[in-house]
Amino acid sequence: MTARLPRNLRSDAQDNRDRILDAARAVFVTDGLNVPIREIARRAEVGPATVYRHFPTKEMLVTEAFTDQMRAWRSILNEGIADPDPWHGFCLVVEKLCELQARDRGFTAAFKSTFPRAMDFAAIRTSSLTSAAELVRRAKDTGRLRPDVVLDDLILMITANGGIHASAPAARIAASRRFAALMIQAFQAPEPARRRPVHALGHNHVESAGR
């Protein structure tokens, strides 16, 4: 029993930390970043002292909540790239990123505005764009993604999705899912262009030109 006690304590502490972060993300999304720590503690069903024990400052709590959001973003991109079917992976990323953004409700933008020096946002953006470019390249190689699609089209999609507004979270998420489905249709190559991979079509065109 004594050998297991420290592990149990660590488990309890981790549970408290997870509840605090869950409560913080939820309240930041609905009520903004100025919510007092005591309200976050109340929703997490812990005391304010427990919150401060894990996160000594409000900025540390908000930063960790944002970091979790970035981990989710990164996880979705990695999942799409790892998919053995690149087109399916591309569609999965479009669907999941749109929904993740719909659930964000401006939290990411508010965090960057309030804590502009909390982390290297330029490096995070560069890493995400590099992964997104790889996702596009792999999907194009299947011939199922339109050959004229460029990385900026994904950025435009995310920007447009962020502009979706609805009175209730469920309605916003439903609208975002609908938008993602329409974007996938727009990104998909016409049937004749899907018969061969893009690189193969390009090679044939070069041969024809040589003749």
85: CATH: 1.10.357.10
* The predicted structure's pLDDT at residue 207: 44
Query: If we measure between CA atoms, which residue out of 81, 202, 63, 83 comes closest to residue 130?
Result: 81
Same domain for 81 and 182, yes or no, is yes
Q: Residue 56: is its pLDDT beyond 70? A: yes
DSSP track, 54-72: H-SSHHHHHHHHHHHHHHH
What mean pLDDT is predicted for residues 42-51?
93
Same domain for 162 and 105, yes or no, is yes
Residue 203: pLDDT band by 50, 70, 90 thresholds? very low
- Count up the domains in the chain and report the number: 2
Q: Residue 146: is its pLDDT beyond 70? A: yes
Q: Residue 119: is its pLDDT beyond 80? A: yes
In a domain, 27, yes or no: yes
**What tokens appear for 100 in the block?**
């993740």
**What tokens appear for 164 in the block?**
């979706």
| Predicted model pTM | 0.75
Mean pLDDT estimate for the chain: 85
* The predicted structure's pLDDT at residue 10: 64
In a domain, 209, yes or no: no
Residue 194: pLDDT band by 50, 70, 90 thresholds? low
The proportion of the chain whose per-residue pLDDT surpasses 70, expressed as a percent, equals: 86
Q: How many CA atoms lie within 13 A of 209 on its CB side?
A: 6
- Which residue would you say has higher pLDDT here, 52 or 69? 52
Q: Residue 103: is its pLDDT beyond 70? A: yes
In a domain, 210, yes or no: no
What mean pLDDT is predicted for residues 185-203?
67
CA–CA separation, 114 vs 103, rounded Å?
19
Residue 105: pLDDT band by 50, 70, 90 thresholds? confident
* The predicted structure's pLDDT at residue 192: 62
15: CATH: 1.10.10.60
CA–CA separation, 176 vs 189, rounded Å?
22
Same domain for 14 and 46, yes or no, is yes
Residue 20's domain comprises: 9-56
CA–CA separation, 21 vs 88, rounded Å?
32
What mean pLDDT is predicted for residues 92-114?
89
